Structure formats: C-alpha cells, structure tokens
Amino acid sequence: SSELTQDPAVSVALGQTVRITCQGDSLRNFYASWYQQKPGQAPVVVIYGKNNRPSGIPDRFSGSSSGNTASLTITGAQAEDEADYYCNSRDTSGNCWVFGGGTKLTVL
Amino acid sequence: EVQLVESGGGLVQPGGSLKLSCAASGFTFSGSAIHWVRQASGKGLEWVGRIRTKPNNYGTTYDASVKGRFTISRDDSNNMAYLQMNSLKTEDTAVYYCIRHQYSSSSGDWFDPWGQGTLVTVSS
C-alpha cells in the first residue's frame, strides 16, 4: 500500500485563497479525489479527477495535480468552508484505496 | 434520490462478531462497486474494503488491518451490501460508512454518495 500525506491544519482569512495539498507516490499514477467533512456529518466529495466538481459544489473549489502532489484550492474562502478535508486515491498496487490524514481548515 | 443507509451497528465484546448492512436506493445498485470506510471518534477516514460487480466476479479487496477478519458481500436482488466483522478488536471501534464507487476513464475514482454511517463499539 502507500500513504497520502496532508498538513494537519491550515487557516485562511475570510475571502482569501487557500491551497490544501496531498502528497503520495500513488498520485503519480492515479487521480486524487477530495472530501469535505463537517462536524457530525458524513463526508461529501468536492473534487474528483483532473478538476471535476459534482453538482452543487461551488466553483470556488478547484483541483490540480503535479507529480506526486494533488492540491485542492478554495478561491475566496467562506465561513461555511470551515471543515476537515481528506484526499483519497488508489494505492500503488491499484487494488486498494487510501485516505490522507486530513486537513482541518479554519476560516478566520 | 441516490441514497445509502447503513444499519446493524452496536456494542460488541472483543473477539465477537457483527454484521453491518447497507441499503441502496435511487441508482442501479448492481452496476456499482461498493466500499466501506470507517472513522474512529476524532480521527481520520480509513478505507476498509470494497466489493466489485458481478461482471467482475464480485471481487473483494481489503485493507491489511481487517484482511482475514472482515468480509464484504452483496445481494443485488435486494440492493443490499454487507460487512461481516469477526474477531473484533477494540481498535475496530468506529463509525462505518458504505459508499458507492464511481469511476470513469477520464476522471478516475470517486466516492459518492456516502451513507450516514453506523457506530460500532468494541468494548468489554
């Protein structure tokens, strides 16, 4: 298997831009997907693939990838974006999946 | 509405067994792989395992931490998936989510939707 590494916590001022990163060897071969989880709720996918947003996800959320690093960018962060964010991808075998440790986003 | 609803969680003693159920609706269940993911209180998400579809021989894969103890199955006729958990350990205590796996050749994999989760507590 392989690991995905995320910063444990990130903060952003209201209305500013923040990037949350996810590093792992498997990201060289597989796309990451990103999940937002608010307290007491199930996770919700916000970005998948190269840069795809499910319906209902605001366009301030975007994704990108380079080498072994995937990124989730929130352009113009809102108070309601305060949440835990997790990246996910297949592991290097391609037969199992792995989550990053999660990033707690605080909107100041 | 696409929906997954888990049930069957509860309190079980270490070494015991429990079977979780996942009821699906609103989509063609037989055409989707199903994954289970868990989350211990205050901790991150942990992938548990998945079951593929009939054309893929209902193949299963598991995380090393549960392999040999947990078994995922499905009943496409009733739109149900199951997670049989044996030889439970205190560290298996978590909320367990079932999830529809989505895939496309251009976008890779993603999980949507997630159920609301069911709590499993392993304690004496």
Alpha-carbon span A3 to A87, nearest angstrom? 11
pLDDT score recorded for residue A33 = 98
C-alpha angle B40-B58-B46 in degrees, rounded to nearest 5: 15
Cβ-Cβ pairs closer than 8 A, A with B, add up to 72
CB-based burial label for B83 (10 Å; 0-12, 13-18, 19+): buried
Mean pLDDT over residues A40-52, rounded? 97
Whether the CB of A94 is below 8 Å from some CB of chain B: the reply is no
A86 and B50 in contact by Cβ < 8 A? no
Residue pLDDT, tens place only, B55-108: 999 999 999 999 999 999 999 999 999 999 999 999 999 999 999 999 999 999
Handedness of CA A103, A43, A83, B10 (dihedral sign): negative
Whether the CB of B116 is below 8 Å from some CB of chain A: the reply is yes
B63 and A1 in contact by Cβ < 8 A? yes
Q: Is pLDDT at A2 greater than 80 in this prediction? A: no
Query: Nearest CA to A88 among B34, B44, B33, B67?
Result: B44
CB-based burial label for A51 (10 Å; 0-12, 13-18, 19+): middle
Report whether B48 contacts B63 (CB < 8 A): yes
| Percentage above 70 pLDDT, chain A | 98
Residue in chain B lying closest to A63 (CA): B107
Residue pLDDT, tens place only, A70-84: 999 999 999 999 999
pLDDT score recorded for residue A1 = 45
Q: Is pLDDT at A16 greater than 50 in this prediction? A: yes
Whether the CB of A49 is below 8 Å from some CB of chain B: the reply is yes
Alpha-carbon span B64 to A25, nearest angstrom? 19
Going by the DSSP 8-state scheme, the letter that residue A8 receives in this structure is S
pLDDT score recorded for residue B7 = 98
Give the type of residue at B35.
H
CB-based burial label for B35 (10 Å; 0-12, 13-18, 19+): buried
Going by the DSSP 8-state scheme, the letter that residue A3 receives in this structure is -
| Percentage above 70 pLDDT, chain B | 100
- C-beta neighbour count of B2 within 10 angstroms: 11
